[in-house]
Each structure stands twice: as structure tokens, then as C-alpha cells.
A = this chain, B = another copy of it.
């Protein structure tokens, strides 16, 4: 965990409002797992004031580079979208626990389910699972074909189904629709996306093994402010977990979504 002025190496728009940015810096050495995130200060002033949490989508240890994929939606990400290669970005990271790649052995089966801007962390996860010899399948959901991104990259790694809300690409509907009838018997599910998607997966696969990456509004990103808590399930004492430092990845069933 460190603070660093990372250098923007590449930056381009890859789908409607979606940007791909490659950042270089020493903090890459500290990254332990896919699903960890960085906490970005956009601009040097007080506007916007808070950092933005963004997942690490791909990791290149040799070049000390990471790729992030983000949607320019609000003030901070729109400002970020204006940046040019060569400029510097103030980053804290790596933060959070990330997905346990070692939950599966060679030959076991992993289903990776991503929705919208929940898709990015699954990319590095898939690469690392594949490297272990895990058999992977992807199901990715987007609003429309125009919003979809990285389908080719995911497809190059493993079989990839796509769902779009308007049906303009793949199955019409949500990721759960693309899953329906797919009798593939996975050993573990890894997912990241909107709360509604994660809840639907919990309902769909009760009692199965899985890991979900959650989102919550964050201030510190390091566990100090208690801004980003979620409740643990079935715990008698109403205990909470912090999404930033206990998460963002939790075992399916561990916390209330």
C-alpha cells in the first residue's frame, strides 16, 4: 500500500463512455491478487474532493504497468477522461483483498460473471485462473452493444457469453438470462457487478461456492473511516465488514448485499 504519482502510458475510449488507461509505477510490485483496486485523486485541487476507487483490470509485472477500465459518468471520471499519456495520476494502492485465485486447483471449473463496470477486475482474474489450469467461462452483461467492452479480450481467454439489456448484442436481458439453461457445472463462481445482479446469483446458486466483489461509496479506502461498511449475514451481533479493507471481495453468503 503506497501513494504514488503513476504515469499515464496509454489512454483511449473503447466503448460508449468507457475508457482504458494504462498506468505505470512502483506500486504494481505490491499487487497480490486480481480484484484489488486503486484509489485515484483526480486533479490537484479540491474539486472533486474525494478519491475514486477503480479496480485493477490487468497487471503487467514486468513493465510495472496496470490497466484500468472505467466509465466516465460523474465529475471525477469525466475529468480523468481528459488526461493525456505522459501526465501523472495520484494513486493510493493496491487496496483491498482481491479474489482468491488459489480457491481452485488445476482442472476445476470457474464461472466468471460481470455486469457493466463490474467486468474489469474479472479480466486479470481470468488470466490468472487460466494460468493455474482452471477451466474458465465468462458471462458478461452490458446495457447495449455500444456500452459493451473487452468482449474480444475475454473471448480470447475462454468461452464468453454476453447479455445486453436491449438485446443489441448476445442474449437480451441480464446475465442471469444468459446463464439460464446453461447446465455447466462449475466449482466456483466469481462475480462483480450491480447489487441486483449479485443478489440474483445468490438466489440462482444457493449453497454454491463463490466470491463476489462489492461496491460501496468510499472516503478513505483504507479502513479508517467506516464509510463503506456492509453487514455480515446471519451474524448474531449485527457485525459489519468494510468493503475497502475487508473486501471488496467477500465469500458468497458472507455479507448482506
Contact = CB atoms under 8 A, between A and B. Distances in A.
A180 interface: no
Of the four ranges (under 10, 10 to 19, 20 to 34, 35 or more), the interface on chain A belongs to: under 10
A45 B45 CA distance: 10
Contacts of A43: 45
Nearest to A82: B44
Identical chains in the assembly: 2
A38 to B, nearest CB: 23
Interface in A39-56: 43, 45-47
Nearest to A46: B47
Contacts of A45: 43, 45, 47
Contacts of A46: 47
A32 to B, nearest CB: 36
Contacts of A47: 45-47
A46 B45 CA distance: 10
Interface in A6-57: 43, 45-47
5 contacts: A43-B45, A45-B45, A45-B47, A46-B47, A47-B47
A78 to B, nearest CB: 11
Nearest to A79: B45
A66 to B, nearest CB: 27
A148 B14 CA distance: 51
A145 to B, nearest CB: 32
